[in-house]
């Protein structure tokens, strides 16, 4: 959640409106409520669903794919595989979610009466090819599915049957790579086809075309791309993968992904691709996107922040993990439970290290560039090894762990895997701690975006820093892929118990 502030010019809001690893946003409106879905890749549960009453303050209310029957991620699912680019729509009294599982199941469709869940079992779409599927209904009820490329096919959303052959609609600017993320809308007298192009890196952008029917032909906007920061000296980069929504006063808004690079050249982003909000005006039948900035004038309607602030601490008193917790590829109850030792999270090891795809791990997204994460771990009670990690993928992670009478810091950077520092374990359960601190100024073009400090706390609360590591090696620019950092607890041998987990933002 981003908190509004009052400035001399009136009420403003801060971008990103959903910070951290919440990419590929798709939005819909139902009455006075707004709902948004994002990609989740190799993490389980999948497709976080967020709710807002004002487009600025968002609360995660669930995950659409929270059962193994809905989300099959084989053990060999690669990091940045899994679930790509959902489209979320409200039509005929129901919510519809169409998405791609690139790790085996292809395109899938789900429905719900309550977007917070439960969602249906998947309707398989064997006749829909390509990623980033979109779903839209014509005036006569005909359903059209459009995918990256950009191609389209008629679909029966109740059965998954397709009709005819996929036909090409429009591929954006000549020569532009990766035309993707299509969304089709009926607005006024036209059907509008919104796409992303240029790739999801620095060349990312948003373009649009219009036609008189949902099948085209489509005329490109003469001002394309209608939004891009390619080649611009701007703190928000990689802007694209957008979706449109109308506000309660008739105004129009766009949600999109972007990143906040830090450090020197080429700039590293570590939180993943985040969700931003920007106003849109219509001029001569075309959308004109406002300036995307870290601080923007708020919408004209009253802002309605959540009744309770977001909870950054979990004492594991609930019978099931809260909705913000994510695991890798699966979360068997026998390996991850709060019921074995009441008031504690108990993790039972499967994989032998964080380098393994099947490691027992439960974490939450890093949402602030400066933050402190702490957890109280009792490894001795379960005769296990485990700890606290900041993870990007199996080949890029830092951790502080309790093992064999030692507290040690381990770093995995590509092929390099080493113990950086270690100390004897203090008696009893141990508070492990990780802090991230952004680089204040870039005096050296080679400087990284932040530092990651790892260590433990003495019984009196004194922080013992075992290592401070360069954060660039846990960035997308180094590791590749589509995800952002996740802080998590893990077990690599035996059983490990965690009494609480606390995430403390250290910046506004």
Catalytic residues: 24, 180
Q: Answer yes or no: are the C-beta atoms of 110 and 125 closer than 8 Å.
A: no
Say how far apart CA 245 and CA 114 lie, in whole Å: 19
Report the SS3 class of residue 490: strand
Task: At 448, list the tokens.
Answer: 């990284």
Biggest CA pair distance of the chain: 73
Say how far apart CA 17 and CA 278 lie, in whole Å: 10
Give the CA radius of gyration of the chain.
23
Q: What is the DSSP string of 110-149?
A: EEESSTTSPPPPPEE-TT--SSS-EEEE-TTS-EEEEETT
Residue 3's Cα: distance from chain center in Å? 19
Does an H or E element contain 477, and which? helix 476-479
Q: Is the C-alpha dihedral spanning 186, 244, 196, 183 positive or negative?
A: negative
Task: At 221, list the tokens.
Answer: 């906007």
Say how far apart CA 146 and CA 150 lie, in whole Å: 7
Q: Answer yes or no: are the C-beta atoms of 414 and 428 closer than 8 Å.
A: no
Say how far apart CA 98 and CA 123 lie, in whole Å: 9
Say how far apart CA 123 and CA 38 lie, in whole Å: 19
Say how far apart CA 344 and CA 496 lie, in whole Å: 10
Say how far apart CA 91 and CA 381 lie, in whole Å: 52
Say how far apart CA 80 and CA 69 lie, in whole Å: 20
Report the SS3 class of residue 441: coil
Strand ranges, E, within 247-325? 252-259, 274-283, 286-289, 295-297, 313-314
């Amino acid at each position: 959640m981003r908190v509004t502030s009052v400035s001399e010019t009136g009420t403003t809001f801060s971008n990103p409106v959903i910070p951290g690893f919440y990419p590929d946003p798709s939005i819909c409106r139902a009455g006075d409520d707004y709902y948004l879905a994002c990609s989740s890749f190799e993490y389980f549960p999948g497709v976080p669903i967020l709710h807002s009453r004002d487009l600025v303050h968002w609360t995660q209310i669930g995950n659409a794919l929270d059962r193994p029957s809905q989300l099959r991620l084989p053990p060999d699912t690669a990091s940045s595989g899994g679930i790509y680019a959902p489209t979320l729509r409200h039509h005929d009294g129901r919510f519809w979610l169409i998405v791609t599982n690139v790790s085996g199941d292809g395109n899938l469709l789900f429905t719900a009466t309550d977007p917070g869940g439960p969602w249906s079992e998947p309707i398989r779409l064997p006749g829909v090819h390509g990623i980033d599927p979109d779903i839209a209904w014509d005036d006569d009820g005909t359903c059209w599915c459009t995918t990256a490329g950009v191609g389209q096919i008629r679909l029966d959303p109740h059965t998954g049957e397709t009709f005819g052959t996929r036909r090409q609609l429009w591929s954006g600017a000549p020569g532009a790579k990766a035309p993707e993320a299509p969304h089709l809308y009926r607005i006024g007298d036209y059907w509008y086809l919104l796409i992303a192009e240029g790739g999801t890196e620095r060349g990312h952008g948003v373009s649009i075309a219009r036609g008189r029917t949902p099948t085209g032909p489509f005329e490109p906007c003469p001002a394309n791309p209608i939004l891009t920061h390619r080649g611009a000296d701007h703190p928000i980069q990689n802007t694209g993968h957008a979706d449109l929504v109308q506000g309660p006063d008739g105004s129009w808004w766009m949600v999109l992904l972007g990143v906040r690079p830090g450090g020197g050249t080429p700039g590293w982003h570590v939180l993943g691709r985040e969700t931003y909000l920007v106003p849109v005006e219509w001029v001569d039948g075309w959308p004109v996107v406002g300036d995307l900035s870290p601080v923007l004038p708020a919408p004209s309607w009253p802002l309605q922040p959540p009744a309770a602030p977001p909870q950054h601490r979990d004492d594991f008193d609930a019978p099931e993990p809260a909705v913000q917790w994510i695991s890798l590829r699966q979360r068997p109850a026998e390996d991850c439970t709060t019921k074995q030792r009441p008031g504690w999270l108990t993790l039972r090891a499967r994989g032998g290290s964080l380098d393994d795809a099947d490691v027992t791990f439960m974490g939450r997204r890093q949402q602030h560039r400066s933050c402190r994460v702490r957890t109280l771990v009792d490894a001795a009670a379960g005769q296990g090894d485990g700890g606290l990690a900041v993870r990007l993928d199996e080949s890029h992670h830092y951790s502080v762990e309790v093992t064999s009478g030692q507290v040690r810091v381990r770093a995995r950077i590509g092929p390099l895997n080493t113990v950086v520092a270690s100390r004897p374990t203090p008696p009893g359960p141990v508070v492990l701690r990780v802090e991230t601190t952004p680089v204040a100024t870039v005096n050296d073009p080679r400087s990284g975006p932040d530092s990651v400090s790892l260590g433990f706390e003495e019984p009196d609360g004194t922080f013992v820093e075992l290592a401070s590591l360069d954060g660039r090696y846990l960035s997308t620019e180094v590791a590749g892929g589509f995800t952002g950092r996740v802080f998590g607890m893990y077990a690599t041998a035996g059983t490990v118990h965690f009494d609480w987990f606390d995430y403390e933002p250290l910046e506004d």
